[in-house]
Structure 1
């Protein structure tokens, strides 16, 4: 029995940033944190290993003793170029137990992750990688997220990709159907999304990378090696370099089209404990346990990582840093973020934005999968002012109803949800958020019924569409699932000649239109714009490709639906009124005119967010019948840019009088005057200087901005100072602030301070000297 965690070695934290392998052609340095071990050896192999076969059986193991360096660290240097070899760490404990483990920090692995691999990462860089540039966001609400599974994207023959189900499918441009419609990666660019959110692409456990004939599908929420890409998406899983190089090519291809890449990360649990990446080297430390020593189950799948412990928190941050540095990732979505403690999430958002880029995206699921003993869970509301967002399940349920059943929402036929819909439209600022940047708005994701299937379920049309009764990808009661799927027709209800008149289509568009026009960050599931169906399978995590694959033939078939989505996205991206950045800005500009009887309507007033349109009227009608609405007087008349016939940035028709009819199950968007865009804000650039140079946890608490009061983070370091950018309303004359550590753990200075904004400068620079309670210096308020 291995000695478990105890106070004597828990405090042996290692603060360096070089755990794992540091490779050069001249030598390789190996470092591992194994504080409870009495001896640790590096084991070098010539092969990547065979499942169930020991090192003694292969006969290719070479052991080198590692030396203990303090802080629980073991290290060894090995001369020569080791590229092409594989390695493990072998830990020996006082009771005689021996554990051989892969490197938790391994950035390359053999097929199925059996052993850590030694590669020269520079040899994995594709041509032009050094000049690869990520698209940049001015603000998180400018993002349009698109959740996508690598295999789903290209596995169906209708795409015509050469690399079906693989990373390299994203590099295949100019794919078109017979009608000339753009498919694949060019479809994504045409749609207008800003970021692809990739479901797990780290090395996961449940797909045999070498068995081409076996089950090849899983969503990937079963982590094995957090810092190496999944091999089943590569052309050669047995070559540790292939998956790395091809992953980079995928990122490069998306960036070339102006699309950022968000990684879905699962730092809440591992697939296994005893054979996982941590337990053999730090027994009892990386996982939460109850007082009896049993694993707790906040993830719902048997274990949960103890993120609140320093070396676990360090591991997560180091892992994220690695993906940002090596793969040019643009953001992260955190699975079951409720199981991650609030301090870890705050430090991730704060530190990585300062170290890398201020426009990195961070968001996640603010719930758990089971009961957890963690006290400071990252649930809805915990994100307030902390620089990351959470999924708004309140809004999701208000729009569509429950996830998998007959329960209705606003877009699926139930009155009484208008108030909850209005709360979502305002970016949840009167619900659980401080600003719109903290809410991710969605109705459909990989979990549960997707949007089309949910609407069919509510309408009682599953039988009409011959949906099979599936569980875990198999027919309930037995039988041939593939045959049953082939007989199903998710579109049996459609009158395709009148596509935009169809009730199911209209309800689908109504739901997604709410997401794409609301304040906050919109999130779409891949294929919603093609009326994607999964044949009623609400949990397709290991179902077949016939259920999960995106059928690209639907683009020509449902082109009108795609164009509607594309138009709404273009409208959002072109008009900042739909992307307001702060609570005060929303409260000043967005006013509801009706919120009852199946109708939700509002105005975005007075060039909201600096928009070129003076006033914008947005009306949603969830009734199956037309309703009459009234518009404010306008001498110029109102221009319709979206209704039941289409959506976009161009005028569809003009409305002269105050009375207007909104067709059933539709929306209408109008504007009354187009002028030169107004300045949305002025910017104050604040440089904070501390004598100790330690800016960890420090932030500004501001008021009077007219846009977003509350916490304002420093997002970069320059010349030894922390720099923050603060947006203020153009007419703001003075802004108040205090300097604080985290959530008022300490203050730098005791009195309220103010920045003079009474001049006409659009960009105001100030410098504040602090530390030890010092007051701001005389340069405060000077502009340049």
Structure 2
């Protein structure tokens, strides 16, 4: 049987007789045997290369290249559907292995098993492990935090190393998975930091930047003092999709350690009631020619143009052909593996536009049916460059009624303006942005969603300018605050290195301690994320926004090292009123279902516009329909530099958010038909 995939410029033909439906690719461990299966239908011969466990943990000890010891070559047997397999009796735990393929033209390749679940340092070899030996104490009793609806989530995007690497964290496991297990940490003024800070803040899920094994960080050269730009990365350079990154483990040279410590991190977060989202990058790989995909089946895993050249819709050198049967299967197997073996609670898809819509719909249905309906799935509904995928790209609108959500860049731009420049939005001083904000406030149901469960509402993420720096750009303060500028060759303008540039910068030069909430930049930041946290949909915060985190104007800090990226925990005591405001807004959202309506119909029936003009947007929510104890709620945003007065329905209104104070406690009561909203702020009030 032949299946055909039509692209705009090409037709790819796949023989489904060479596709496999089983769920046992890779290694299957039995009590007294070990079975290997690999899919490589075009190979003429396949051998399993088996290396004994290394005495000192070094993969090089038994490397073919070192000449110290040749591997044991075990022929694999060909089955139907492109499968090669071999089963061996005995206990092979700790042994390293590779797959050697020989093709009809005599070409020979040696590859790491793409289904490998453990690897040596820097991913040079696969390793045989018994996964049950990697479970930390209490793992079998681990419970996934409950989530009735995606809109009940409050997402917090975070890089594992950034979380703990700064000296101000004073953590034992700086830069490691285990930093999330450290509790009871306080700063000099008694403020919680680390995982207790996350609990206090009230977020429901930590969204971790890629934590699968990635390529460009040397796991042998990472320690707590290493801030070299050349050995830091966000992880968007996939190497092995089914193995945790080793640089975040205490021992990257012990294959089981990274697995056990990743699970320990998940367990610690779950015990705090916090779910774990994995940022996954199935749209491209770090390398093409040297990838296991290409070595095992040349030309199959990557999209090509009509002339046979590989397409590059990712902007990073290649794009994975997700629409092909075995590629789709690999992705679905991989996410389900993470959800089941590691108890991961959701997945964020990088450049989801390059993943075909059928794959996204299939994996969402599979995870929700076979793992948990609470699994969160969302991604970027765009690509980077032109792709032959064409109409099958997963773009805004393609997620409708399909069980996953997309980032709402329309709302993002309406609130803050462009991502890397001085362009303004509603919260940063633009005129005429009220209508677009109003569309976003209602969960984009008149834009591209069928329900608010399908929109990720945010203003900034790890890439582009973070919120504090973006607001500074819009206010013309880039030079005044001494932000970093780079030359075309990547060198820092006016400084010898990045560290010197950071030392010379004054990102909070205009913030008067003791009067933090009176600062205009601070108020614009609070307004921007205040809109996110009170709108219908799924709110998403970038780590450190609640601490006025700066990256010193670095808009693409993926290789800028700890000196730019590390979260500086001393900012909590410095900007405690800002943290308290975020915590109050999150508490408000989680306590009152009127901010978390589930359906388009509920939004249409229970949200009413009150004012939309000249930097002011105000609306009323009816709480009774969602079972809220507050019968009516008014939310008002004022982005103008002066206070504004608007007419409101006559009632006794209890103000719970106003001028830097936020929560569920009553600040004051308003009786009558008018409300004065302070400049650059938001007000929330209710009547019962």
Question: Normalising to structure 1: TM-score of the pair?
Answer: 0.84
How far 1:291 sits from its partner (Å)?
1.1
How far 1:531 sits from its partner (Å)?
0.1
- Encode CA deviations 1:26-49: one digit per residue, 9 max, x unaligned: 111000000000000000013453
Partner of 2:248: 233
Q: Is the 8 A contact 2:46 2:100 kept in 1?
A: yes
- Encode CA deviations 1:325-356: one digit per residue, 9 max, x unaligned: 11000000000000000000001111110101
Structure 1: how far apart are the matches of 2:70 and 2:136?
32
Structure 1: how far apart are the matches of 2:254 and 2:290?
23
1:122-161 to structure 2, matched below 5 A, reads 122-161=132-171
Q: Which SS does the other structure have where 2:220 is aligned?
A: coil
Structure 2: how far apart are the matches of 1:266 and 1:611?
39
Residue 185 (structure 2) aligned to one of 175, 178, 181:
175
For residues 37 and 477 of structure 1, do their structure 2 counterparts lie closer, same or farther at Cα, with a shift above 3 Å needed?
Answer: farther
Question: Is 1:405 paired with 2:418?
Answer: no
Structure 2: how far apart are the matches of 1:165 and 1:647?
33
Structure 2: how far apart are the matches of 1:397 and 1:50?
50
For residues 6 and 31 of structure 1, do their structure 2 counterparts lie closer, same or farther at Cα, with a shift above 3 Å needed?
Answer: farther
For residues 346 and 611 of structure 1, do their structure 2 counterparts lie closer, same or farther at Cα, with a shift above 3 Å needed?
Answer: same
Question: Is 1:316 paired with 2:331?
Answer: yes
- Encode CA deviations 1:748-775: one digit per residue, 9 max, x unaligned: xxxxxxxxxxxxxxxxxxxxxxxxxxxx
Partner of 1:19: 25
Structure 2: how far apart are the matches of 1:476 and 1:90?
49
- Encode CA deviations 1:253-297: one digit per residue, 9 max, x unaligned: 000000000000000000001111201111111000011110001
Q: Is the 8 A contact 2:35 2:85 kept in 1?
A: yes
* Matched pairs, number: 667
Residue 399 (structure 2) aligned to one of 383, 402, 410:
383
Q: Which SS does the other structure have where 2:558 is aligned?
A: coil
Partner of 2:200: 190
How far 1:397 sits from its partner (Å)?
0.3
Partner of 1:744: none
Partner of 1:417: 433
Partner of 2:679: 664
Q: Is the 8 A contact 1:9 1:35 kept in 2?
A: no
Q: Which SS does the other structure have where 1:497 is aligned?
A: coil
Question: Is 1:251 paired with 2:228?
Answer: no
Question: Is 1:204 paired with 2:214?
Answer: yes
How far 1:364 sits from its partner (Å)?
0.2
How far 1:465 sits from its partner (Å)?
1.2
For residues 537 and 657 of structure 1, do their structure 2 counterparts lie closer, same or farther at Cα, with a shift above 3 Å needed?
Answer: same
1:634-653 to structure 2, matched below 5 A, reads 634=651, 637-653=652-668
> Structure 1: any 5+ residue segments left out of the alignment?
674-784
Structure 2: how far apart are the matches of 1:533 and 1:329?
29
Structure 1: how far apart are the matches of 2:260 and 2:431?
52
What's the Cα RMSD here? 1.6
- Encode CA deviations 1:606-650: one digit per residue, 9 max, x unaligned: 52411111110100000010000121011xx11000011300001
- Encode CA deviations 1:462-509: one digit per residue, 9 max, x unaligned: 211111213697414762221121121210010122111110000000
Partner of 2:341: 326
Partner of 2:85: 75
Q: Which SS does the other structure have where 2:479 is aligned?
A: coil
Partner of 2:562: 545
Per chain length, whose mean CA-contact separation is higher, i.e. which structure has more relative contact order (CA < 8 Å, sep 6+)? 2
Q: Is the 8 A contact 1:230 1:243 kept in 2?
A: yes
Question: Is 1:605 paired with 2:615?
Answer: no
Q: Is the 8 A contact 1:42 1:88 kept in 2?
A: yes
Q: Is the 8 A contact 1:22 1:28 kept in 2?
A: yes
How far 1:653 sits from its partner (Å)?
0.5
Partner of 1:512: 529
| Larger Rg computed on CA atoms | 1
Question: Is 1:447 paired with 2:447?
Answer: no
Partner of 2:515: 498
Structure 2: how far apart are the matches of 1:515 and 1:526?
15
Q: Which SS does the other structure have where 1:486 is aligned?
A: helix
> Structure 2: any 5+ residue segments left out of the alignment?
1-10
Q: Is the 8 A contact 2:36 2:87 kept in 1?
A: yes
Structure 2: how far apart are the matches of 1:405 and 1:58?
55
Structure 2: how far apart are the matches of 1:9 and 1:343?
19
Question: Normalising to structure 2: TM-score of the pair?
Answer: 0.95
For residues 427 and 223 of structure 1, do their structure 2 counterparts lie closer, same or farther at Cα, with a shift above 3 Å needed?
Answer: same
Q: Is the 8 A contact 1:473 1:540 kept in 2?
A: no
Partner of 1:462: 478
Partner of 2:38: 32
Structure 1: how far apart are the matches of 2:492 and 2:16?
49
Partner of 1:220: 235
How far 1:124 sits from its partner (Å)?
0.6
Structure 1: how far apart are the matches of 2:496 and 2:359?
47
Q: Which SS does the other structure have where 1:58 is aligned?
A: coil
Q: Is the 8 A contact 1:473 1:544 kept in 2?
A: no
For residues 82 and 402 of structure 1, do their structure 2 counterparts lie closer, same or farther at Cα, with a shift above 3 Å needed?
Answer: same
- Encode CA deviations 1:200-248: one digit per residue, 9 max, x unaligned: 0000000000023664310000000000000000000000000000000
Residue 633 (structure 2) aligned to one of 605, 616, 640:
616
Q: Is the 8 A contact 2:61 2:68 kept in 1?
A: no
Structure 1: how far apart are the matches of 2:674 and 2:66?
84
Residue 290 (structure 2) aligned to one of 275, 279, 285:
275
Q: Is the 8 A contact 1:570 1:648 kept in 2?
A: yes
How far 1:52 sits from its partner (Å)?
13
For residues 51 and 145 of structure 1, do their structure 2 counterparts lie closer, same or farther at Cα, with a shift above 3 Å needed?
Answer: farther
